[in-house]
Structure 1
Amino acid sequence: MLVLEYKAVVKKAQSTAIDEAIRTSQFVRNKVLRYWIDNRGVGKKELYQYNTQLRSEYKFVNDLNSHACQASVENVERSINRFFDNCNQNKPWKKGYTRFKKHSRSVEYKVSGWKLHPTKRRIDFTDKKGIGGLKLLGKWDIHQYPLELIKRVRIVRRSDGCYVQFCVKVDNQQTAPSSDSEVGIDVGLEYFYSDSKGNHEENPRFFRKAESDIKRVQRNIYKKKKGSSGRRKARGIYARKCLRVTRQREEHAKRLARNLTLANAMVVVEDLNISGMVRNHKLALSISDASWYNFRQWLEYFGEKFGREIIAVPPHFTSQECSNCGARVQKSLSTRTHSCPHCGYVEQRDVNAAKIILSRASGRGGQPQTNASGDVLTTSIGRKSCKSKERQ
């Protein structure tokens, strides 16, 4: 599944209509979830029947396109299935029980409710919410794909405006240069990552660099009167500052992941429990700023796209073992050089760990992992499946 995103030129009345469509989609999702909680054991058919009942009961729900309401039901269904899958797999920590949404930012249409202009980059939403036509700004050419391949259209609201996303069902694989190179990757805080070849990638620390500016604009929010237009504008400035940092992290992770997968036939990483690691309050901000999770996701995505092998291995004792003799050498986080007393091998700590990670791919049963194909799994509600959800 390929996602093409455009910035939308939105008028004030259209912005109000988009907000109303998003709230209606959220309403349908929460009502369907409440129905499932109150009637345990109901299946997919009953949820869709309840959605039909909502459309006949509430006029503002009926004004939203029927496929957009069905998409909200599908989101609930996927969330429930994911919860049962996590329980079935004995996933540590919380299992992700489906929650009610308080602040939704998107509404999703399926194959109806919208009409794409045949030549111009313009889309018209034809339901009764009154969104109308939106001009699209972006470098992608949506017209090169047949309309029947566009399976989803989303309107996403962000702090700097509205965006329209097209989910196109196409084969996104590309031919990459032939390579037999293999590399192990050890992510860290001193360096963004170190590889088994001795290379280091500097940690950009985007949030740390913008932290003082973000805190300044955050303080300005509380200097404004509650409910005033000045406070609303101050919140918008703060949100755009944070959005810029998020985009910087995303682009940085994407660039590095693409270069690694193009240059190497096999990339081996640690299967880190990042949600558990950020429970350490002394390191949580630095770990979040490094954005290891995004980096792992983009590695898997480009691995699928270029036909590369991405392998995740257990992270236990990768920093303690010696890559030369295999002996375990205890060291604290402040010790940045690995010096083995058994064989005399000396290496930078992260490079030594990267070599251990690479050796575990073949020696200790590393498993190829990817969730980048974008296929949406459809299973019955409550079914305990071992299949992992794939990234769209």
Structure 2
Amino acid sequence: MIVLEFKAKGKTTQYAAVDEAIKTVQFVRNKCIRFWMDNRSVGQKELYRYNTALRAEYSFASYLNSHACQVGVERAYSSIARFYDNCKKGIPGKKGYPRFKKNNRSAEYKTSGWKLSETRKQIIFTDKKGIGKLKLKGTWDLNFYQLEQIKRVRLVRRADGYYVQFLVSVDNNVVAQPTGKTIGLDVGLKEFYTDSNGHSEPNCRFYRAGEKRLKFKQRRVSRKQKGSTNRRKAINKLGRVHLRISRQREEHAKKVARCVIKSYDLVAYEDLRIKNLVKNHCLAKSINDAGWYQFRKWLEYFGVKFGRTTVAVNPAYTSQKCSNCGALVKKSLSTRTHVCECGFVLDRDWNAAINILRLALSTVGHTGTWILDPNASGDSTSTHAGEILCEQVDSMNEESSSL
């Protein structure tokens, strides 16, 4: 599956109709969540029946395509199922109890409620919401794909306008020639990552670079009267700055990950829990700005696309352990050089990258994405993480240069 994204061009009335469609999907989702809260034993089938009752009761819901309303039900049930799954797994802390959506940003159609023009440069929405024909601006060519391959169409609202995404069923894998090389990556704040060969990729720090502009726009918002048109315009301008920074971070992670995957047959990296790391308020801003999660996401995606092996290693003691003799050398975060009693002196991140690669190589003969425990060795200690990987690959906005 790949996602092709286009900028949607239309009239102000059409944009208002898109907003109304997005609000309707949000309404259906929130109603289903409330219905589940009042009747905990209901399942997805009961929620579908409740959606039918909602469409009969509310005329604005019946104007939206029935499949688009069903997507609202699917989103509600997805949050419910995730909550139950987290409870069964006994995940510590919050379990992700389903909450009501306040600012939904997308509406999704399936195989009905829309059609493409003959040139496939426009899309026409045929339900009663009044969206009509929208022009598609982008670099992708939909003529390469059959209409049967387009499984879903999504309308997305962002700070800089409206977008149309097409979910296309196509084999996106590429046969790449083996390189015979392996590498371990240690991500950090000083450098974006340091590999087991000693090479370091600089950290761009996009948020830090745009922080002055963000503060200026935020002050503009705070000076406007709440509920006024000027405040809404100021919020939109602030959102555009945030959107630009997030796109820069995503594109950087994508390009670096693609380069790494194409250059090596096996890539090992740290299995970091970003949610836990950002609890350190002194480093939270820098950790979020680094974009470690985006980097790992694209490593796993390109690993599947090019047929490379990606290995997630438990990072415990990888920075403390000496890569030369195996002794533990305790050091604080401020200590950037690894100095061991055996006389081995090396950069802290380089030493950790070597340890990460050695842990990954303990699964020689396996293929796919694996998570390793450094406290054990051999093939029997690896756990397959393909379940998470499949979800990421299917839902990813694949390599769109028109974002």
TM range, normalised to the smaller chain? over 0.9
User: Equivalent residue for 1:382?
Assistant: none
- The one-letter code sitting in structure 1 at the alignment partner of 2:332 is S
Partner SS state of residue 136, structure 2: strand
Distance 1:10 1:92, change over 3 A: farther
User: Equivalent residue for 1:195?
Assistant: 195
User: Equivalent residue for 2:146?
Assistant: 146
1: CA distance, partners of 2:56 / 2:265:
55
Following superposition, the deviation at residue 168 of structure 1 comes to 0.8
Partner SS state of residue 215, structure 1: helix
Which is worse superposed, 89-98 or 165-174? 89-98
Compute the TM-score of the two structures, normalised by the length of structure 1.
Answer: 0.93
User: Equivalent residue for 1:380?
Assistant: none
User: Equivalent residue for 2:385?
Assistant: 369
Identity over aligned pairs, percent: 56
2: CA distance, partners of 1:367 / 1:187:
22
2: CA distance, partners of 1:87 / 1:269:
29
2: CA distance, partners of 1:5 / 1:94:
34
Distance 1:391 1:76, change over 3 A: same
Distance 1:338 1:318, change over 3 A: same
2: CA distance, partners of 1:181 / 1:42:
52
User: Equivalent residue for 2:347?
Assistant: 348
2: CA distance, partners of 1:197 / 1:87:
42
Partner SS state of residue 192, structure 1: strand
Following superposition, the deviation at residue 315 of structure 1 comes to 1.2
2: CA distance, partners of 1:87 / 1:361:
31
| Residue segments in structure 1 that go unaligned for 5+ positions in a row | 376-388
2: CA distance, partners of 1:312 / 1:344:
30
Higher relative contact order (CA 8 A, sep 6+): 1
1:298 matches 2:314 = no
Conserved 8 A contact 1:258-1:302: yes
Following superposition, the deviation at residue 122 of structure 1 comes to 0.6
Conserved 8 A contact 1:310-1:368: no
User: Equivalent residue for 2:369?
Assistant: none
Q: Structure 1: which 4+ aligned runs deviate by more than 6 Å?
A: none
2: CA distance, partners of 1:113 / 1:137:
21
1:315 matches 2:331 = no
User: Equivalent residue for 2:365?
Assistant: none
Partner SS state of residue 223, structure 2: coil
User: Equivalent residue for 2:131?
Assistant: 131
User: Equivalent residue for 1:86?
Assistant: 86
1:38 matches 2:54 = no
Q: How does 1:1-392 map to 2 (within 5 A)?
A: 1-341=1-341, 343-363=342-362, 364=377, 365-370=381-386, 371-374=388-391, 391-392=395-396
Conserved 8 A contact 2:120-2:142: no
Following superposition, the deviation at residue 157 of structure 1 comes to 0.2
Which is worse superposed, 45-54 or 363-372? 363-372
**Count of residues paired in the alignment:** 378
- The one-letter code sitting in structure 1 at the alignment partner of 2:3 is V
1: CA distance, partners of 2:283 / 2:178:
39
Following superposition, the deviation at residue 90 of structure 1 comes to 3.0
Following superposition, the deviation at residue 300 of structure 1 comes to 0.7
Distance 1:325 1:272, change over 3 A: same
RMSD in angstroms over aligned alpha carbons?
Answer: 1.5
Following superposition, the deviation at residue 391 of structure 1 comes to 4.1
2: CA distance, partners of 1:13 / 1:353:
56
Partner SS state of residue 222, structure 1: helix
| Residue segments in structure 2 that go unaligned for 5+ positions in a row | 363-376, 397-403
Which is worse superposed, 305-314 or 85-94? 85-94
Distance 1:179 1:91, change over 3 A: farther
Conserved 8 A contact 2:124-2:133: yes
Compute the TM-score of the two structures, normalised by the length of structure 2.
Answer: 0.91
Residue by residue over 1:341-367, the C-alpha shift from the partner in whole angstroms, topping out at 9 and shown as x without a partner, is 1x2111100010011111112333344
Conserved 8 A contact 2:2-2:394: no
Distance 1:37 1:295, change over 3 A: same
Following superposition, the deviation at residue 141 of structure 1 comes to 0.9
2: CA distance, partners of 1:74 / 1:45:
10
Residue by residue over 1:162-211, the C-alpha shift from the partner in whole angstroms, topping out at 9 and shown as x without a partner, is 00000111111112232221111110000000111111000000010110
Following superposition, the deviation at residue 293 of structure 1 comes to 0.6
Following superposition, the deviation at residue 374 of structure 1 comes to 4.9
